[in-house]
Amino acid sequence: MASSTSYLHISGISVDFSKSGQNIESAELRLRDEQRLFGPDLGSEETFHETFVPPMKLSRGDRFSLGLLCKRPFPWENQRQDIDFDTEEVFRTCDTHEKHGQAIIIITAQAERTASSSEESLLRPTKDEIFEMCPRFRILVIGKSGVGKSSLINKAFGVNTLVSDERRGETDINTEFISEQNDKFVLHESKGFEPGEGDNLEIVQQFIQQRRQMMVLKYQVHAVWLCFEISRTGGRVLETDTERFLKLKRDGELGDIPVVVALTKYDKFIDHVEHTLDYSPLKGWNEDAVEKYINQTLEAERDVFTRRVQEAAGSDIPYATVSTKDVHKDMIAHLIEITEERVRQHVASEASVLAGVAQLVDPKLNIMTSIEVDKRRDWDALASTAAFKGKTVQACLEVLHTNMIHVWNIHDPHHYLDSKEFKALVVDLVDKLDIGSIANPNRNM
């Protein structure tokens, strides 16, 4: 490591106890007076991994250690072990591999150099800056029990377990739910606006107002999904307090936080229409004609319902019809796209990037978000060549690689995509393309 390195950003740590025989309950990384506590990976008691957002800042000479809380069989109590790291070794290699007995510890760090020009800082991955400002997409989901809130969240953000199963009892809107399967979104949940329960409208309004006053983007609410089940015509479409909530939004009382109406359980609506449809006039029709008639009936009944929703919501509050069935996954993608667009327009571009990163149902949005992140700095710099002049091919690819794999938010608990082996394969692949040989990754651009 060059002497110009002034300090390091410690962005993550991985610990593998599978061959050590140790039974570790928790771990704590300590840097000066700062501590980061973390536990075992989902589905494993032998591997620990934690990504630090924001990164921990390590200077030369700092006390840097890992504390382990080890479980002991009865009658011994839990015992703490401390592992001190060689700071100079961390500075020398950045990616530090240490063995403590049979345990393997990997520290991931990124050098912060004293730049000789503004070009040097351009090699820092853009996603680092975005994730520091807004590490998670924060969403509030409102809806009565049974309307499909949990199923919608789990489908949209690619988690298998019901998010709301982590806590039973009364819903607390201030509780933050973060899934171990996808930590790029944080959920706040509220029950719907039940008849005669006006308190919940006030609770939701106060919560949104409090979050609006927070100056830091990552603590603000970035979007609200108001969920209720699409139904056949007849009867009241919206409860009184739901209409009042939409009016608060129309009148500007809730500020710029995007509200999107999600009409859930469209598949159930289809089943109900088909099962109650009078088929007697269709006798003698061919199969295509019958299917066309059914589809027209479905669209007509849906349009009647959605027009009534639009009347209550107004033109500035969009809606999307959704189903969590795989055959209708494009509907959830549409909901995500509407939400991301509104967040970009009314909240912040960084929050819209995290909306694209957090969702795991719309590959098109992943592609657009990845391009957006790279265009912010890296591709523009690459096109001009000035910012990459004198930089190694490896350094340039590292920036693009880091942006892409983190923006795509692929569940990679073993961190294969961040491994040196995978990066070597990427370099080898690029070398085979018709851009001239880069077989030497240390060659300058």
- Please list the residues that pair with 405 across neighbouring strands: none
Is there a single domain that holds both residue 31 and residue 108? yes
Q: How many CB atoms are located within 10 Å of the residue 350 CB?
A: 21
**pLDDT at position 436 over 80:** no
Nearest to 249 by CA among 231, 218, 228, 223: 223
Work out the widest C-alpha separation in the chain, in whole angstroms: 87
Is there a single domain that holds both residue 110 and residue 139? no
Residues composing the chain:
445
Q: Which of 39-48, 326-335, 338-347, 365-374 has the highest mean pLDDT?
A: 338-347
Q: Is position 394 within any domain?
A: no
Give the model's pLDDT for residue 204.
93
- The predicted-structure confidence for 107-120, as pLDDT tens digits, reads as follows 877 765 444 444 44
Look over the chain and give the mean of its residue pLDDT values, rounded to a whole number. Answer: 78
- pLDDT, average across residues 317-338: 92
Amino acid at 216: V
Is there a single domain that holds both residue 199 and residue 260? yes
**pLDDT at position 321 over 50:** yes
Which residue is it, tokens 């300590």? 30
CA 219 – CA 208 distance, rounded (Å) = 11
Residues 159, 149, 212: CA angle, nearest 5 degrees: 95
Q: Is position 443 within any domain?
A: no
Name the phi and psi angles at 107, rounded to 5.
-105, 130
The confidence band for 86, taking pLDDT boundaries of 50, 70 and 90, is confident
Give the model's pLDDT for residue 116.
42
Is there a single domain that holds both residue 161 and residue 22? no
Give the model's pLDDT for residue 414.
72
- Please list the residues that pair with 320 across neighbouring strands: 262
Q: Where is the domain boundary, 347, 372, 394?
A: 347
Is there a single domain that holds both residue 215 and residue 332? yes
Is there a single domain that holds both residue 271 and residue 183? yes
Q: Where in 2-102 does DSSP place strands (E)?
A: 5-16, 24-31, 34-38, 47-59, 64-70, 79-84, 96-100
Q: Where is the domain boundary, 287, 314, 347?
A: 347
**pLDDT at position 31 over 60:** yes
Is there a single domain that holds both residue 146 and residue 109? no
- Is 438 in a helix, a strand, or coil? coil
Is there a single domain that holds both residue 40 and residue 175? no
**pLDDT at position 403 over 70:** no
CA 405 – CA 409 distance, rounded (Å) = 6
- The predicted-structure confidence for 208-244, as pLDDT tens digits, reads as follows 998 988 888 988 999 999 998 887 655 566 788 888 8
CA 182 – CA 254 distance, rounded (Å) = 28
What is the number of domains present in the chain?
2
CA 214 – CA 143 distance, rounded (Å) = 25
Give the model's pLDDT for residue 386.
44
Residues 68, 72, 76: CA angle, nearest 5 degrees: 120
Higher per-residue pLDDT: 344 or 164: 344
- Please list the residues that pair with 205 across neighbouring strands: none
On whether the CB atoms of residues 137 and 339 are closer than 8 A, the answer is no
Q: Where is the domain boundary, 79, 114, 149?
A: 114
CA 176 – CA 363 distance, rounded (Å) = 27
CA 321 – CA 304 distance, rounded (Å) = 13
Which residue is it, tokens 């982590």? 166
**pLDDT at position 256 over 70:** yes
- pLDDT, average across residues 111-137: 64
Is there a single domain that holds both residue 103 and residue 176? no
> Which helix or strand (DSSP H or E) is residue 262 part of?
strand 259-264
How much of the chain is helix, strand and coil, in % rounded to 5? 40, 20, 35
- The predicted-structure confidence for 193-203, as pLDDT tens digits, reads as follows 876 666 889 99
Domain that holds residue 246: 135-347
**pLDDT at position 435 over 80:** no
- Percent of the chain exceeding pLDDT 90 equals 22
The confidence band for 164, taking pLDDT boundaries of 50, 70 and 90, is very low
The confidence band for 36, taking pLDDT boundaries of 50, 70 and 90, is confident
Is there a single domain that holds both residue 102 and residue 167? no
- pLDDT, average across residues 6-29: 79
The CATH number given to whatever domain includes residue 147 is 3.40.50.300
- Is 265 in a helix, a strand, or coil? coil
The CATH number given to whatever domain includes residue 25 is 2.60.40
Q: What is the CA radius of gyration of the chain?
A: 26
Give the model's pLDDT for residue 245.
92
